[in-house]
Structure 1
Amino acid sequence: MSFVGAPVNRTDGWAKVSGAALYSAEHPVPNLAHAVLVTSTVPSGRITRIDTRMAEQVPGVLLVMSYENAMRLPPATRMGKLQPPIGRALTLLQDDRVYYNNQPVGVVVAETLEHAREAAARLQIEYERADAVLDFELAKQSVHPPGTILGEDPDTRRGNLQTGLLTGSARVEATYVTPYESHNPLEPHATIAAWEGDRLTLYDSTQYIKGVQRIVAETLGMPADRLTVFCPFTGGGFGCKGSVWSHVVLAAMAARQAGRPVKLVLDRNQMFGPVGMRPATEQRMRLAALSDGRLTASSHDVTSYTSVIEDWTEPSALVTRMMYESPTQETSHRLAKMNLGTPTFMRAPGEATGTYALECAMDELAYELGIDPIELRLRNYTERDPDKGLPFSSKSLRQCYEVGAQRFGWHGRNPAPRSMREGDKLVGWGMATATYPMRRMAAKASVVMYPDGFAIARSATQDLGTGTYTVMTQVAADALGVPLANMRFELGDSRMPDAPVSGGSMTVASVSSAVHAAAGALRHKLASIACAHPHSPLHGAVPEEVGADAGWLFLSGDPSRREPMALVVERHGQGPIEATANAAPGEEKNKYSMHSFGAVFVEVHVDELLGEIRVPRVVGVYGVGRLLNRKTGHSQLMGGIVWGLGMALFEETLIDKRIGRAVNGNLAEYHVPVNADVGTIDVQVVEEHDPYVNPLGAKGIGEIGITGVAAAVANAVYHATGKRVRDLPITLDKLL
């Protein structure tokens, strides 16, 4: 039987519900001291005085570390190892400069967490404040182009845009705004650092174990093979844990200077600034079309903020380049420097914000033309990536529209705004297209079988709660030909075979390919050993003619010639048998454009007097290649949709423009959807075969679920109220 695709329960589920799963701050390290991060209270300037006397009087204080006494780092890495996106510009207590409010400026280490907090509160720091740019509107007055964006040019031009705009009989020109948004995984960033001589062990909550190993080692000026990183469980990441931030290196520095293992966990407020956020964007959209709906021009110009210490770009216009057929097109990205922490990846970076602007503009164009929004998209449907000039490796978007419209009942919609009601509520229906690129990187894996028939697959990847433990177990068991109960997948240890960052929805495509190859290699190795052994019923057969199922090897042409894999290992007499494999993308990426697609349909109910918005139902239909686990896949897509509802209606980091600090820097006031905010979510995945993306034909699904949702909600709100809100989140004050 095939385990791939089956709705297998999470193999790590029992560990999580029983408390056996250890997250980064929970590992039992002997003689552990506790550290508290101290952050700046001004947005720009210099530290003029640090008085540590009161802090040092707190019982149990071991170290008060600041720029005055922190260990000196190599000149090349004084601000971290700048290797975007993993190695970022950091603030590592090497000088007195302050670049943003909430920037790390000190670390206090004590015997207990309570004493460390008390000492940190007593630490007195004085600043000389300098001018700071804290208003995005002012920052936009001085912008600059970024370098390449994920290997793409920041600007593109195809045909003559002005001619295309003039050719169209209907035009839309609008500006869409998205706010600062902050990651708030349940597990905040946490690091335990422990030195043993010149060797360092880190327990770090991360999305990239091997990246932490490499970047921290280079920053500290030590060989990477003397640093081991563990992360068996990550309590949510969503992008913010994909990079190495200041606190990770500071924990290692503090442990070195204190002479003790040190645990450093960020407070919830410290999740706002020092570890990135989704930047605010302003996106100018221009569309023009003939009366039949065919686009003659499209333009997408994006301005987003970046920090004063490094550039980071929200690539919102990339989606416009590939989504619809348009003979003329221009896209651009510009950055506005601000005295805020450097932004970073946040679930579907670029696509989440970009689909909001593009899909709202398409909805506005549909109203201008009097064409159904689905029909408008179909009239501009393309089987080739217009930007790259390549065919899509697979594209089931047309089917997604059809299935979604049928399940939602779209064709019963009265298209006129304010035309539908339910009791005293205005009812609106909106839809949008979802998409996310299929990315894959090189990965390695090993699979070993023991004489008892039990097998373990390993790769230095990480599980963010997405189900990596489970789907890799399924893939390995299938490829090796053993029962699920006889297979375990292990991850979270930098000593295991290399794996890439768990970001960009690439873990499944990358790591599963390596696991599949390693398990297949072990299966072939076992078959070869059996065929060569005179006591085996398979003796003399060709390994390629040997099949495997349920832990048995058998001759494909004569299944009666068979024996257990465990017996092959035991008879071999040399202990466990292991195979390793590498898997990497090839020339297919130069022949095809690879993306997932979907269609999102949303119903909203709006209180006409109060402006309150409720979302009773959402339908999302997706084409994502081969789904490796129907249950965890459903969870991922549903979670993305819920996040999209939050993006549309709730999420916004409010920055005090006087001091540059988040005024809602906690879970009480940074609003996200809760159970009562979420109605029925109908998630469907259409059958899609893609032989090009990777050996399993699987596309990542961690991020496509959020894309298009904010636009679908905004379009539904317009249909309900007749009011077009172009700046997120859509709150009741914007409707009143």
Structure 2
Amino acid sequence: MTIQGANVTELIEELRTPTADEGTGAVTIGMPVSRVDGRDKVTGQARYAAEYPAEGLLYGVVVSGTIPRGRITAIRADAALAVAGVVEVITHLNRPRIRSFDIFYKDMTAPGGSPFRPLYDDKIAYSGQPVALVVAETFEAARYAARLVEVDYEVEPHATSLVEDRERSYKPSRMKAGFTPPPDPKGHADEVWEKAAIKVEGEYYSGVEHHNPMELFASTVIRDADGHLTIYDKTQSSQNSRWYVSHVFGLAKDKVTVRNPYVGGAFGSGLRPQYQLPLAVMAALKLERSVRVVLTRQQMFTFGHRPETLQRVRLAADSDGTLTSIIHEAVAETSRMEDYVEVVVNWSGELYQCEHVRLGYHLVDLDHASPMDMRAPGAAHGVYALEVAMDELSYALKMDPLALRLKNYADMDPSRGLPYSTKELRACYQQGAERFGWDKRPLEPGTMREGRELIGWGMATGMWDAMQMFARASAVLHADGSLVVSSAATDIGTGTYTAMSIIAADAMGLPLEKVCFQLGDSTLPVAPIEGGSSHVATVGSAVQGVCEKLQKKLFKLAKKLPSSPLAKARFDDIEFSGGALRVSSQPGVAVPITEILAGSGEQRLEEKYLMLPNMLKQMKYQRSTHSAVFCEVRVDPEFGMVRVTRVVSAIAAGRIINAKTAQSQIIGGVVWGIGQALHEETHCDHRFGRFMNHNLGEYHVSVNADIHDIDVIFVQEDDRIVSRIGAKGVGEIGLVGVAAAVSNAIYHATGKRVRSTPITPDKLMR
């Protein structure tokens, strides 16, 4: 597939064109279906967190701190308060009461330690942290007045460089929630590596990256006359934000409702409530008014990022390519407040068969905001280092990079000896290589050229966890045959609305237009945070479960109808299709759903379902998604300019629910992987401890001109261990391995190995 531009008219026309059984609306799992929410989004009818109106709405603008460490000695707000329309300047000195214990300030994804508390006290933990909130009748007045607030500081020495402070690293606790520490060493990795005849060693550096979703972080807090707060928040979980607000401010659960029906991208930045949420709530409680707080693009760089990471990988192999030793160590940054941890090195013990493995992971606490999850956290860096090292080893062996990976293919999980729930990585290699034309690749670097450009081909493997959480879903089937399914899930642009509608429509045999899926409201049945590529496997299984309960209830009613053609049928003989219950062996023997409800005197049927993972069964398997990424680059050797001209990404991620949005997810991951390899890095001036390129003019991301042919292959896979619907997840796996494939292709083109990302022209020209 080639990514090309399209105007809005073309996009709307595409939305008007049915893709599910042209004109009928009938869908089955795996079909390419346009987003059910697409029309609202492209026509501007979808409202985001900063777009909800409220009577008497006030506007808050955040004043950001300017030092990386110290304390506030004075805040002078008189000039700001004198501006017409300004209502209040809220600081740590006059904010509403909040709870002081750490446990009440944590959200559901908080790492160990004491989380940052905006406007809590006079301490400055990092540059850019909020120090005041100016609230006014208009946004313009608040923005102008925020520039007039003066803050004095007592400055303390700071440290913001991972490289300079790597010597004071420490090992994180094995007890951190959500953290799987590296396993104990296996065999004698160091001894084997030292004695090996064929070995490679490299140090790999990855700079800081920041999330840059299109929608700015915003919270609109609408206060009712009785004090109830309805909050529209940019978040990846309405229930997480609701829990957080209730516990921080000591509010009863029924006094707070959080909604996020539309989220304009997040990529992990919305897993935790960001500081605009408590600031907006503070203002609403203090002033007893509705309040909106929207962060600026610059402030989007002040609450978390993908951590700076330094890795050392050593690999050894026999002359036939058999891996004999893997040593992978990483040092990553965290904040002074929390121990943010990622699974960076564990992949090296899981991806390839090897008898001698030693893995290590350490942290360095710096005066930055706590890092946070960013698409494929840990794997984006860890798999990158491993896969570039594997490429280096292939050249030391004079062996094809794909052949080396196949030589060390693991049929069982090497780290724990468990079977895979499903693993179609061999098929990814085979289908991806065939589509790309890998068999025509010359082994030696620098041997392909067209005009002034050098051409290189590289490849890499990707791996990510296949996770499942718990969730509830409810369903109401109405007399007219329409179905409403609900769960407090989130759609950050991944296609949740559509995927859940497809699962429900497929289960009940209904046209897609007869199904409505409700999400994005904290009052709906419980759902996990949308993250880790677990949403479809989790919420989708809950939707399937509640629909199966409806199926059985309908079947019982159908059997009781007078002269029912299904009176002697068994449930296993029934299929749901065309809005009816049919005998599978005799499709003509059917009873429409609407007739069943009418004949039974039922106006609606309602069911609820709690989906709990079968942990006893799942723990017996290694559950993962896999990919094989093949990449072509063209390099101008005089200017060091790199163009990624072709990518083939072959994905094994279980059963694909919606081929269209799943493909979009992989394309988006590939685009971001190209950005990781060539463009994205946030630069810190360590003299000031401040990120300097905090805007989209200087923080470089991949643009249309950088993206060419991206071909996505979904390898057939059906995993009933991970989920009852056979699905895994595609959000993260599309990114993992892409940067390594680009890096390896650059080496094949130029013969120059660059071990840090992004690979910018200056690095190649050296």
* Contact kept in structure 2, 1:318 and 1:350, CA below 8 Å: no
Tell me, yes or no, if structure 1 residue 462 matches structure 2 residue 487.
Answer: no
- Alpha-carbon offset, residue 105 of structure 1: 1.2
Q: Select which of 609, 612, 617 maps to 2:638.
A: 609
The 5-angstrom pairing of residues 627-642 of structure 1 reads 627-642=656-671
Find the counterpart in structure 1 of residue 147 from structure 2. Answer: 121
Find the counterpart in structure 2 of residue 279 from structure 1. Answer: 307
Alignment partners' CA distance in 2, 1:181 and 1:635: 22
Alignment partners' CA distance in 1, 2:381 and 2:77: 44
- 1:626-654 alpha-carbon deviations (Å, 9 max, x no partner): 11111111111011001000000000001
Find the counterpart in structure 2 of residue 62 from structure 1. Answer: 87
Which sits farther off after the overlay, 664-673 or 518-527? 518-527
Report the secondary structure of 2:185's partner residue.
strand
Judging changes above 3 Å, is the alpha-carbon distance between structure 1 residues 618 and 543 closer, same or farther for their aligned structure 2 residues?
closer
Report the secondary structure of 1:495's partner residue.
coil
* Contact kept in structure 1, 2:202 and 2:389, CA below 8 Å: yes
Which sits farther off after the overlay, 43-52 or 523-532? 523-532
* Contact kept in structure 2, 1:524 and 1:544, CA below 8 Å: no
Which sits farther off after the overlay, 26-35 or 508-517? 26-35
Judging changes above 3 Å, is the alpha-carbon distance between structure 1 residues 556 and 627 closer, same or farther for their aligned structure 2 residues?
closer
Alignment partners' CA distance in 2, 1:571 and 1:277: 58
Tell me, yes or no, if structure 1 residue 402 matches structure 2 residue 435.
Answer: no
Tell me, yes or no, if structure 1 residue 261 matches structure 2 residue 261.
Answer: no
The one-letter amino acid paired with 2:436 is: F
Tell me, yes or no, if structure 1 residue 722 matches structure 2 residue 751.
Answer: yes
Tell me, yes or no, if structure 1 residue 417 matches structure 2 residue 442.
Answer: no
Q: Select which of 351, 365, 377 maps to 2:393.
A: 365
- Alpha-carbon offset, residue 224 of structure 1: 2.5
Alignment partners' CA distance in 1, 2:443 and 2:715: 27
The one-letter amino acid paired with 1:676 is: A
- Alpha-carbon offset, residue 82 of structure 1: 5.9
> What residue ranges of structure 2 are gaps of 5+ in the alignment?
1-25
Find the counterpart in structure 2 of residue 6 from structure 1. Answer: 31
Alignment partners' CA distance in 1, 2:555 and 2:195: 66
Alignment partners' CA distance in 1, 2:584 and 2:638: 72
Find the counterpart in structure 2 of residue 582 from structure 1. Answer: 610
The 5-angstrom pairing of residues 209-248 of structure 1 reads 209-248=238-277
Which sits farther off after the overlay, 388-397 or 565-574? 565-574
Find the counterpart in structure 2 of residue 679 from structure 1. Answer: 708
- Alpha-carbon offset, residue 529 of structure 1: 2.1
* Contact kept in structure 2, 1:531 and 1:543, CA below 8 Å: no
Report the secondary structure of 1:673's partner residue.
coil
Find the counterpart in structure 2 of residue 18 from structure 1. Answer: 43
Alignment partners' CA distance in 2, 1:516 and 1:417: 51
- Alpha-carbon offset, residue 202 of structure 1: 1.2
The 5-angstrom pairing of residues 109-508 of structure 1 reads 109-148=135-174, 150-154=178-182, 156-196=184-224, 197-274=226-303, 276-508=304-536
Q: Select which of 695, 699, 709 maps to 2:724.
A: 695
Alignment partners' CA distance in 1, 2:633 and 2:589: 63
The one-letter amino acid paired with 2:194 is: L
- Alpha-carbon offset, residue 535 of structure 1: 6.5
- Alpha-carbon offset, residue 569 of structure 1: 2.5
- Alpha-carbon offset, residue 544 of structure 1: 5.0
- Alpha-carbon offset, residue 540 of structure 1: 6.3
> What residue ranges of structure 1 are gaps of 5+ in the alignment?
none
* Contact kept in structure 2, 1:532 and 1:540, CA below 8 Å: no
- Alpha-carbon offset, residue 575 of structure 1: 3.2
The one-letter amino acid paired with 1:191 is: S
Judging changes above 3 Å, is the alpha-carbon distance between structure 1 residues 38 and 159 closer, same or farther for their aligned structure 2 residues?
same
- 1:472-502 alpha-carbon deviations (Å, 9 max, x no partner): 1000011122111211111111111111111
RMSD of aligned residue pairs (Cα, Å): 1.7
Alignment partners' CA distance in 1, 2:436 and 2:390: 20
- Alpha-carbon offset, residue 207 of structure 1: 0.8
- 1:80-115 alpha-carbon deviations (Å, 9 max, x no partner): 226533897122212100000001111111111100
* Contact kept in structure 1, 2:489 and 2:519, CA below 8 Å: yes
Alignment partners' CA distance in 1, 2:764 and 2:541: 49
* Contact kept in structure 2, 1:285 and 1:358, CA below 8 Å: yes
Alignment partners' CA distance in 1, 2:95 and 2:575: 61
Report the secondary structure of 1:215's partner residue.
helix
The one-letter amino acid paired with 1:713 is: V
- How many residues are paired up? 735
The one-letter amino acid paired with 2:99 is: P
Kindly report structure 1 stretches of 4+ aligned residues shifted beyond 4 Å. Answer: 539-545, 555-561
Judging changes above 3 Å, is the alpha-carbon distance between structure 1 residues 692 and 85 closer, same or farther for their aligned structure 2 residues?
same
Q: Select which of 91, 94, 105 maps to 2:117.
A: 91
Report the secondary structure of 1:292's partner residue.
coil
- Alpha-carbon offset, residue 78 of structure 1: 9.1
The 5-angstrom pairing of residues 536-551 of structure 1 reads 536-539=564-567, 542-551=570-579
Alignment partners' CA distance in 1, 2:60 and 2:455: 52
Report the secondary structure of 1:323's partner residue.
coil
Judging changes above 3 Å, is the alpha-carbon distance between structure 1 residues 226 and 77 closer, same or farther for their aligned structure 2 residues?
farther
Alignment partners' CA distance in 2, 1:427 and 1:328: 36
The one-letter amino acid paired with 1:42 is: I
Alignment partners' CA distance in 2, 1:338 and 1:711: 27
- 1:66-86 alpha-carbon deviations (Å, 9 max, x no partner): 001011212214982265338
* Contact kept in structure 1, 2:99 and 2:105, CA below 8 Å: no
The one-letter amino acid paired with 2:387 is: E
Alignment partners' CA distance in 1, 2:736 and 2:757: 14
Alignment partners' CA distance in 2, 1:728 and 1:273: 22
Alignment partners' CA distance in 2, 1:138 and 1:124: 33
Tell me, yes or no, if structure 1 residue 669 matches structure 2 residue 695.
Answer: no
| TM-score relative to the length of structure 2 | 0.93
The one-letter amino acid paired with 1:205 is: K
- 1:46-80 alpha-carbon deviations (Å, 9 max, x no partner): 10001110010111111210001011212214982
Which sits farther off after the overlay, 323-332 or 135-144? 135-144
Alignment partners' CA distance in 2, 1:172 and 1:540: 70
* Contact kept in structure 2, 1:228 and 1:494, CA below 8 Å: yes
* Contact kept in structure 2, 1:79 and 1:89, CA below 8 Å: no
Alignment partners' CA distance in 1, 2:757 and 2:234: 30
Which sits farther off after the overlay, 526-535 or 424-433? 526-535
* Contact kept in structure 1, 2:561 and 2:599, CA below 8 Å: no
* Contact kept in structure 2, 1:86 and 1:244, CA below 8 Å: no
| TM-score relative to the length of structure 1 | 0.97
The one-letter amino acid paired with 2:307 is: P
